[in-house]
A and B are shown apart, each in its own frame.
Chain A
Amino acid sequence: MGLLSDPNRRKAITTARILILNMILVLHGDSVVCYLAGIAWFMGLAFEPFTLRTYMSENAMGSTMVEERFPSGERALATAREFAAHKKKVGGMPVDWLVKTMRAQGLEVFTQSFSRNLPFPDESKERFVVRGTNVYGILRAPRAPRTEALVLSAPCSPGNSNNQAVGLLLGLAQYFRSQIYWAKDIIFLVNEHDLIGVQAWLEGYHHTNITGMGYTPLQGRAGSIQAALSLELNSDVVTSLDLVLEGLNGQLPNLDLANLFHAFCQKLGILCTIQGKLQRSDWDTVEGYTHSAQTMLLMVLKQASGRPWGEHGLFLRYHIEAASIRGVNSFRQYKTDATSIGRLFEGMVRKLNNLLERLHQSYFFYLMPSLTRFVSIGYYMPAFGLLTTILLLRALDLWVHLGTPTPVTEDGVGEGESPSSPGLLSVLTPVVISHLTGVALYTLPVLSQEMAVEHFPVSETEAVVLTAIAIYTAGLALPHNTHRLISGEGTEQGWRVLKLVALLYLAVLLGCTALINFSLGFILAVTLVPAAACVTPHVPKALSAVAMVLLSPGCTILYCVFLFQELQEVPVSLAEGWMLFLSVISQGILDHALYGSLVYPLLALLVYPCWLLFWNILFWK
């Protein structure tokens, strides 16, 4: 029993630890130092010399030559116009026309109809009861046993958007049909009602039903899907193509997919962006750094939202590497025509066709300050680690304090009337009450919308959002009196134990969150850690209460909304920002109900109760 039980070595460890602790505690800026170091590290990630250049890891896609010959961009645009005409005529998805056209191109064509009742009306997209049809055609691989497939998808959006995407998809289908080198089935999917359609199709394809969607089973199926590309195109010519990677719950596709896109853009001379930002070469200037920091922060914010930012986002859940490619038409002189875009897709699909196994060689955890640079998990995790270290140091500090004066602890039995049992109760009560508040925040908004609409002059969506905010605020008033109900006077020991529990809880919670969705974990850590580290019952109440509220998870969302708008260079006024904040909340709840995004339950059931524990400590008497 070496290291930990040999007293001599142990003494060495302990003295070293005490030295470090003392050093840190003497400075008493331990938390501040760690916190600033964490933030600085994180911001440093956008600085180009600290990042790595992207490179293709997958052999099957790297070394093979592919020649792109897609000729019929003009024809694709003609198809797009025809599609637009039919769409206008039918007033929705021209199912019959699509089936006919695809069949004429020699694909196996199937349709799937689906329906979904939203828990409350979605005001931003104006839908409540959704019914629609997906049309998909399968191009069977002539040279392989049909066990694997690729998906190309384009949404059939309302109005005049995305017609060109469908046109190009059909054009590609026709061209691919005449090629002989396909080793994987290719599925061309045109889906209605954007993400809901994709969700229905994917659930149908994989025989699952996780979100309570009503859909007809799929008649035709190809092999297991290896990769998917989603296309969004609104104009005949584009100036640049934007790559969208952020998927459901902050999941990202393998970095090789981004590399593939970038490689073909370079080859074909197409301008490519990520987060709508072009790459700059002047990394050593302030502007250059700011630019890449903006790009990275945008990615962080999008990832933290846990929302699928394109149709590809839902594929990722099924372990399918996917990305959305969005055409952007701005005032720039240099334009790219549909033929080039078609060639880009042809090249990408052909390379994906060459894959021998799923993309797995490159990174899954990364942040991109530009399309050619990335930060891998090993580089960004220390930033988060520094922030959580504060929590652990504080917990250790409390543990030492709790241990030294009396050897009584949570299950330690003390002298006299066993202080452990009221102690335990006084800790357990706030924990239980906070979590019950969290459960209320999670369930009540959707459940009580009808009642709210009856009694107040608001729409359903407003009712849901306002109920959520009301419960959130009510929670602030509720739990800080609870421990006194049972245990009478709260003791000095009591809040220390509660804080210890809360600190460890928060550390584990943030750690797990950061593993699944780094950005979310980091953003929560940035605001929650200072509050968690500093709160005691002995600080000035009013001031710290204000600070605590400003650092609560709800306010974090508000800041993120403003920051996001600022970074996208469409700054909003306070009132608009508030409206956006409300819509973000309703979207979050909808995302959870429709696609199973975990951000809302995470915040309501775990993060908010955890924050309430600290709130409780502040008002400990």
Chain B
Amino acid sequence: SLISLTSVAFLLRGNCKHVRTKDSPPNICGFNLILVPDIKICRLVNVKTVIPMVQLLNWRRGLFPQTKMAAPLTLVLILSVTIRAVLFRSSLAELISERVEVVSPLNAWKRGLFCYYVLQENNISLFFQTPLVIYLFHFVVDYAEIVFMIVDGITAVALYLAVQNYNKNVFRKQKYALEADRYPHDCLELMRSPKEMHYIPLKVAMFYLLNPFTILSCVAKSTCGLNNAVMALFILSTLKGSALLSAIFLALATYQSIYPLTLFAPGLLFLLQRLYIPVNPCRSRFWFFTVQYSVMFIGSLLVIVCLSFFLLGSWDFIPSVYGFILSVPDLTPNIGLFWYFFAEMFEHFRFFFICVFQINVFFYTIPLSVKLKEHPVFLIFMQIAIISIFKSYPTVGDIALYMAFLPVWSHLYRFLRNIFLVSCVLLACTALFPVLWHLWIYAGSANSNFYYAITLLFNVGQILLVSDYFYAYLRREHHLSQGLYLRRKDGSEATLVLK
């Protein structure tokens, strides 16, 4: 039966509830509707996909109601500031700021403060933090709590704007592809509707601000919050298409903790894509832009490093900050993989394995960039996740940054396979960290193996989570080009294998 769009819309308006719940009358649910030739799509569509389709059409015509999102965002900000303020004033703040899961030697407020005072009093440079951060301490030392709350707010707003921008782009692309009839016929249920995407930026901000990991990290005054803010600003400026700002923020992030260097590739890929420059080594425009971006990046990095030199008058900070990150001398337990491994290791293997471990962090950039060169934003997510899993001194604050991106990929949900298992593992591990720490350090009845076992499990959980999302993303892309219901040549149902 052929029904025009108007009648579909009418039908839906009349029977909205029936369509949405699963126990809708069979005469509607069972119908296969054929949509209007309005957008040159003429194919069989299940009722389930009709609603997004209608919304899509509405959106195209500018009919979709645009509600203002500023009010809920403000509400979330106020709520998160309240929670943080209460925690700052409670007796828990002291306890939290000493948890090894929350602060690492690199970003602990106390150690930063120590550097600051040592520098001020004795003019001896002794570093755990980069000079610019210590210089920042000069201004913020009295209002630390407010500053850390504001920084978290900035991160959230930057992520919010970035994701909003990204969603707009995704939409535009999807619309063009739909109009060009590029998607296979059975993929309409994979299409994304404006309604579902409408709340995603807000959810991202919420995921960042109300994530217990972020709250803990903020209450502990870990400078990880600053790094996250710089990364968020980098993402925002990249997505807005400003090459210069993107390079500057990337340089700042790299200056802070080296590892964000791997974000250079996705940043570059995104900007190239935005300027419609194909990634093709034979084209001069590609090389021209790449060189331009690298020069901006290296230039700003040099400026920042030289600024640090002029602030201090010595180069001491380079070995003591970057050497500290790369050679991992401090083996205080944390949620990462380094401490136990290097505590157990014979000294003469140390150098080799440090190289292996550190290369591990950077290595994934190459295969991922090749595989995801069309999807740089997903690549950014993957890179941030990999950094936070494999870096030398990870804390929960790093995890919070990539977890904030999870709502952006909520449309991948149907392709995720281990999400229940993984979330149970992450939840259990988070609860077990303090318990096993207590048993090991205070009660003396457990030992470091217990704690490391949980660390290991926690990281395995994270890796499974990230690879699950990776698989789901690739699979969706595959379906979008090949059709949702894959058949083998002999007509049997095919399955996708990630190898």
Contact = CB atoms under 8 A, between A and B. Distances in A.
Contacts of B52: 415
Interface in A402-434: 405-407, 409, 411-416, 418, 421
A392 B424 CA distance: 10
A515 interface: yes
Interface residues of A, number: 40
Interface in A503-521: 504, 507-509, 511-512, 515-516
B428 A251 contact: no
B22 A413 contact: no
B428 A511 contact: yes
A418 B432 contact: no
* Chain B at the A interface: SS class: helix
Contact of A411 (B20, B48, B407): B407
A508 B445 contact: no
A485 interface: no
B413 A407 contact: yes
Nearest to B467: A1
A246 to B, nearest CB: 14
Nearest to B496: A7
A6 B497 contact: yes
Interface string B292-311: 00000000000000000000
A6 B199 CA distance: 34
Contacts of B418: 4
Contact of B417 (A10, A364, A504): A10
Nearest to A7: B495
Interface in B403-439: 406-407, 410-411, 413-414, 417-418, 420, 424, 427-428, 431-432, 435-436, 438-439
A10 B416 CA distance: 13
B407 A504 contact: no
Nearest to A363: B445
Interface string B215-229: 000000000000000
Given A411-B406, A415-B51, A418-B195, A512 B467 contact: no
B179 interface: no
A392 B51 CA distance: 36
A5 interface: yes
Nearest to A500: B420
Contacts of B496: 7
A411 B203 contact: yes
Interface in A3-34: 4-8, 10
A415 B439 contact: no
Nearest to B52: A415
B471 interface: yes
Interface string A80-111: 00000000000000000000000000000000
Nearest to A407: B414
A53 interface: no
B498 A5 contact: yes
A399 interface: yes
A259 B446 CA distance: 20
Contact of A515 (B16, B20, B420, B435): B435
B14 interface: no
A252 B407 CA distance: 46
B444 interface: yes
Interface residues of B, number: 44
Given A6-B497, A516-B438, A413 B199 contact: yes
Contacts of A413: 196, 199-200, 410-411
Interface in A488-545: 504, 507-509, 511-512, 515-516
A252 B20 CA distance: 58
A360 interface: yes
A396 interface: yes
Nearest to A359: B444
Contacts of B438: 516
A232 B152 CA distance: 57
Contacts of A411: 203, 406-407, 410, 413
Query: By DSSP majority rule, is chain A's interface helix, strand, loop, or mixed?
Result: loop
A252 B468 CA distance: 43
A6 B498 CA distance: 7
B443 interface: yes
B404 to A, nearest CB: 12
B464 interface: yes
A277 interface: no
B442 interface: yes
Given A5-B467, A6-B497, A413-B199, A365 B445 contact: yes
B499 interface: yes
B199 A418 contact: yes
A317 B444 CA distance: 9
Contacts of A407: 413-414
A330 to B, nearest CB: 34
Nearest to A253: B445
A7 B195 contact: no
A512 B435 contact: yes
A511 B196 CA distance: 37
A319 B443 contact: yes
Interface in A527-569: none
A358 interface: yes
Contacts of B203: 411
Contacts of B22: 405-406
A368 B112 CA distance: 50
Nearest to B198: A418
Contacts of B196: 413-414, 418
A360 B445 CA distance: 8
Nearest to A399: B420
Nearest to A11: B495
A411 B200 CA distance: 10
Given A412-B410, A415-B20, A418-B196, A512 B442 contact: no
Interface in B12-58: 16, 19-20, 22, 48, 51-52
A365 B435 CA distance: 15
Contact of B420 (A7, A8, A396): A396
Contacts of A251: 443, 445
A1 B496 CA distance: 13
A364 B445 contact: yes
Interface string B458-499: 000000100110010000000000000000000000011111
A358 B48 contact: no
Contacts of B444: 319, 358, 360, 364
Contact of A416 (B16, B406, B420, B431): B16
Nearest to A412: B413
A390 to B, nearest CB: 15
Contacts of A365: 445
Interface in B441-459: 442-446
Given A5-B467, A319-B442, A504-B424, A512 B16 contact: no
Interface in B385-418: 406-407, 410-411, 413-414, 417-418
B351 to A, nearest CB: 30
Nearest to B447: A360
Contacts of A319: 442-444
Contacts of A416: 16, 19-20, 51, 195
B497 A7 contact: yes
A10 B16 CA distance: 38
A323 B465 CA distance: 47
Nearest to B464: A4
11 contacts: A6-B499, A319-B443, A364-B446, A365-B445, A409-B413, A412-B413, A415-B48, A511-B428, A515-B435, A515-B436, A516-B443
Interface of A: 1, 4-8, 10, 251-252, 316-317, 319, 358, 360, 364-365, 392, 395-396, 399, 405-407, 409, 411-416, 418, 421, 504, 507-509, 511-512, 515-516
3 tightest CB-CB pairs across the interface, nearest first?
A364-B445, A413-B196, A319-B444
Given A5-B468, A512-B435, A516-B443, 20 more contacts: A6-B497, A7-B496, A392-B424, A406-B22, A409-B413, A411-B406, A412-B410, A413-B199, A415-B19, A415-B51, A416-B20, A416-B195, A418-B196, A504-B424, A504-B427, A508-B428, A508-B431, A512-B432, A515-B436, A516-B435
